[in-house]
Structure 1
Amino acid sequence: METAELVTFGGSGLDRAEDLRRDPEALAALRARPGARRVLLRAGEPLVEGSEAAPRLARRPIEGAASEGLVFLGREGDEGVWAEAVESAEEGEGRWGDLRGVMARLSPRDAELAATGKAVLGWHTSHGFCSACGTRSRPAPAGWRRDCPSCGTQHFPRTDPVVIMLVTHGNDVLVGRSPGWPEGMFSLLAGFMEPGETVEAAVRREVWEEAGVRVGRVGYLASQPWPFPASLMLGCRGEALTREIAVDPQELEAALWVPRERMMGVFEGRDPEIRAPRHGAIAAFLLREWLADRLD
Structure 2
Amino acid sequence: MSDFKFCPICAASLIMRADDGDTRKVRLTCPDGHWTHWDNPLPVLAALVEIDGKILLARNAAWQDNMFALITGFMERDETPEQGIARELKEETNLDADQITLIGVYEFMRKNELIIAYHIKASGTIQLSPELLEYRLLAPAKLRPWRAGTGYAVADWMRQRDLEVEFVDRPILAD
Is TM more than 0.5 here?
A: yes
Which stretches in structure 2 are left out of the alignment for 5+ residues?
Answer: 164-175
Quote the Cα distance in structure 2 between the aligned partners of 1:135 and 1:229.
Answer: 28
Q: Is the 8 A contact 1:211 1:255 kept in 2?
A: no
Question: 1:130: which partner in 2?
Answer: 7
Question: 1:139: which partner in 2?
Answer: 16
Quote the Cα distance in structure 1 between the aligned partners of 2:113 and 2:150.
Answer: 14
Quote the Cα distance in structure 1 between the aligned partners of 2:162 and 2:9.
Answer: 47
Secondary structure of 1:210's match? helix
Deviation at 1:225, TM superposition (A): 2.0
After superposition, the CA RMSD in angstroms is: 2.2
Which stretches in structure 1 are left out of the alignment for 5+ residues?
Answer: 1-121, 268-276
Aligned: 1:185 with 2:52: no
Q: How does 1:1-296 map to 2 (within 5 A)?
A: 122-123=1-2, 126-141=3-18, 142=23, 143-150=25-32, 152-242=34-124, 244-249=125-130, 251-261=131-141, 263-264=142-143, 267=144, 279-292=146-159, 293=161
Q: Which amino acid aligns with 2:138?
A: V
Quote the Cα distance in structure 2 between the aligned partners of 1:134 and 1:234.
Answer: 35
Deviation at 1:258, TM superposition (A): 1.8
Quote the Cα distance in structure 2 between the aligned partners of 1:203 and 1:239.
Answer: 12
Quote the Cα distance in structure 2 between the aligned partners of 1:231 and 1:133.
Answer: 29
Distance 1:139 1:201, change over 3 A: same
Q: Is the 8 A contact 1:133 1:151 kept in 2?
A: no
The structure with the largest alpha-carbon Rg is 1
Q: Is the 8 A contact 1:245 1:255 kept in 2?
A: no
Q: Is the 8 A contact 1:137 1:147 kept in 2?
A: yes
Deviation at 1:294, TM superposition (A): 5.2
Secondary structure of 2:106's match? strand
Q: Which amino acid aligns with 2:137?
A: W
Secondary structure of 1:282's match? coil
Q: Which amino acid aligns with 2:28?
A: R
Q: Is the 8 A contact 1:144 1:156 kept in 2?
A: no
Deviation at 1:150, TM superposition (A): 4.1
In the TM superposition, structure 1's runs of 4+ consecutive aligned residues that sit over 4 Å from their partners are none
TM-score relative to the length of structure 1: 0.48
Q: Which amino acid aligns with 2:60?
A: S
Q: Is the 8 A contact 2:58 2:68 kept in 1?
A: yes
Q: Which amino acid aligns with 1:217?
A: Q
Secondary structure of 1:238's match? strand
User: Larger relative CO (CA 8 A, sep 6+): 1 or 2?
Assistant: 2
Deviation at 1:290, TM superposition (A): 3.3
Deviation at 1:151, TM superposition (A): 5.9
Quote the Cα distance in structure 2 between the aligned partners of 1:202 and 1:239.
Answer: 15
Matched pairs, number: 157
Q: Which amino acid aligns with 1:148?
A: C
Q: Is the 8 A contact 2:96 2:122 kept in 1?
A: yes
Distance 1:130 1:294, change over 3 A: farther
TM-score relative to the length of structure 2: 0.78
Q: Is the 8 A contact 1:138 1:149 kept in 2?
A: yes
